[in-house]
Amino acid sequence: MLNPVSQDHRMPPTITSSNIREMVRNPLQFFQSIALEHGDIVCYRPAPEPAFLINHPNYVRHVLVDHNKNYTKDTYSNRLFGKVVGGGLLTTEGDQWRKQRRMMQPAFHHTRLEQLDGMIVESAQSMLDGWQQAFESNRPIDIAREMAALTLTVTTRSLFGVDLGDEVREVGEIINQAAADLERPSSPRLIESAQKFGAVIDRIIQQRKQDFKDGGDLLSSMILARDEQSGDEMTDEQLRTQVMTLMLAGYETTASTLTWTWHLLSQNLQYMDRLRSEVRETLGERPPCYADLDHLPFTDMVLDESLRLFPPAWTLGRRAICEDVIDGFYIPENAVIAICIYVLHRHPKFWDRAEVFFPERFSAENSRGRNKFSFIPFGAGPRQCIGNNFGLMEAALVMACILQRFELHSIPGMEVHPQALFVLRPNRDVMMSLHA
């Protein structure tokens, strides 16, 4: 065992009068203020189990990549997630996780994602047909609600195929309930809604397996998956757990990305104009497709800048299996490590005018020399998001479809702030007016 204080290492600064109530009330402000006051590593809760905030890209790399074997995902929020969905890809560890990741990876291969573009565009266009009436009668829309409904449809259809019909709505209502209950962990309904969620997914899996044909959807790909080492296929229980994981991990994160992007663009109309020009020049009137995504560089920059300022997965947690030393600071065994991505993405040492929405910072030229671990909206290392490309593809296609038809302006005087729940959500409805 190491001596916490020696010639080679020392204890990180510790907050003595830690205001845990403040952390629960407003974690973003709490983490931002302790990082500003105490530096890139700080112990914000000495007992019962010590917890450390790390806020330097090199420390992030240490925990998530270089020494990832010393850190597990055994944290409070992961246990809660596991209680709802069981041992899926997001929460398992070790060999079990490695085997699941190997089997799930092909579902996210670009040859599978390519097959989903038509469904995403069709879903977006059907939403836009619904907006036409609001546009004609000058009625504002709630963009947060619209993006959530759209990404729920897209997630459900990409998982199960387009033939789900009325069940999309049923699955939608159930998943919404489960996601809401995750935010109120003491709710007695948590287990009940998890069981309901599982039962609907089981029913869909059974139907699909009875008369199986590969529909290009993610569930088909998971049913077909065989572990290259053991030859095993996924059991029904594993299929259910993975489907629930993908729904919960994929739908609200993408909805949040799109909502914050519209919020930022509506406050920076010069960028909305530039995006519309890019979309018009690249696509004209024709609907976007997967192959177009390589030709919309400004769209990528806007999405990155939105993910920097409002990362949907605003925090990551890990637990140290053994004691460790990070850049000379002692970390005891069993310590909790928090990475607040929201605060890291606004670190003044790594981001010039960090609070300003400036998509050009993500141009190839301006990105040169940047520490890769200062921008981690999808995490890093082996546990990096498996749906990364899917989420970005969906967001870019939806943005292009919307911009071909409308511009969105915020309603004057409406203030929106981030709320750090299961994902980073706006604290209220986000009303916008539609312009041709």
Residues that bind ligand HEM (CB under 6 A): 73, 89-90, 101, 245-246, 249-250, 253-254, 257, 312-313, 316, 377-379, 383, 385-387, 390-391
> For residues 101 and 274, which CB has a smaller minimum distance to ligand HEM in the complex?
101
> For residues 164 and 434, which CB has a smaller minimum distance to ligand HEM in the complex?
164
3-state secondary structure of 234: coil
Distance CA 121, CA 300 (A): 18
Distance CA 103, CA 241 (A): 13
Q: How far is the CB of 254 from ligand HEM (least distance, A)?
A: 5
> For residues 97 and 330, which CB has a smaller minimum distance to ligand HEM in the complex?
97
Q: How far is the CB of 356 from ligand HEM (least distance, A)?
A: 21
Intra-chain end-to-end CA distance of the chain, in Å: 67
> For residues 258 and 434, which CB has a smaller minimum distance to ligand HEM in the complex?
258
Q: How far is the CB of 274 from ligand HEM (least distance, A)?
A: 22
Nearest to 264, CA basis, from 143, 138, 385: 143
3-state secondary structure of 407: strand
In the bound state, the residue with its beta carbon closest to ligand HEM is 387
Q: How far is the CB of 433 from ligand HEM (least distance, A)?
A: 26
> For residues 256 and 266, which CB has a smaller minimum distance to ligand HEM in the complex?
256
Nearest to 115, CA basis, from 197, 214, 34: 214
Q: How far is the CB of 35 from ligand HEM (least distance, A)?
A: 19
Structure tokens at 132: 């036409």
* CA angle (252 as vertex; 61, 41 as ends), nearest 5: 25
Asked if residue 312 lies in contact with residue 376, where contact means CB atoms within 8 angstroms, the answer is no
> For residues 39 and 106, which CB has a smaller minimum distance to ligand HEM in the complex?
106
Q: How far is the CB of 247 from ligand HEM (least distance, A)?
A: 8
Structure tokens at 16: 């003595």
Q: How far is the CB of 411 from ligand HEM (least distance, A)?
A: 26
> For residues 38 and 112, which CB has a smaller minimum distance to ligand HEM in the complex?
112
C-alpha Rg value of the chain to the nearest Å:
22
DSSP class of residue 419?
Answer: E
Q: How far is the CB of 310 from ligand HEM (least distance, A)?
A: 10
> For residues 102 and 145, which CB has a smaller minimum distance to ligand HEM in the complex?
102
> For residues 75 and 404, which CB has a smaller minimum distance to ligand HEM in the complex?
75
Asked if residue 288 lies in contact with residue 173, where contact means CB atoms within 8 angstroms, the answer is no
Our CA dihedral for 369, 375, 376, 380, rounded to 10 degrees, sits at 20
Count Cα atoms within 13 angstroms, Cβ side, for 148.
Answer: 19
Q: How far is the CB of 312 from ligand HEM (least distance, A)?
A: 4
Burial class (CB within 10 angstroms; exposed 0-12, middle 13-18, buried 19+) of 122: middle
Asked if residue 183 lies in contact with residue 205, where contact means CB atoms within 8 angstroms, the answer is no
Asked if residue 133 lies in contact with residue 412, where contact means CB atoms within 8 angstroms, the answer is no
- Give me the residues paired with residue 336 across strands: 51, 319
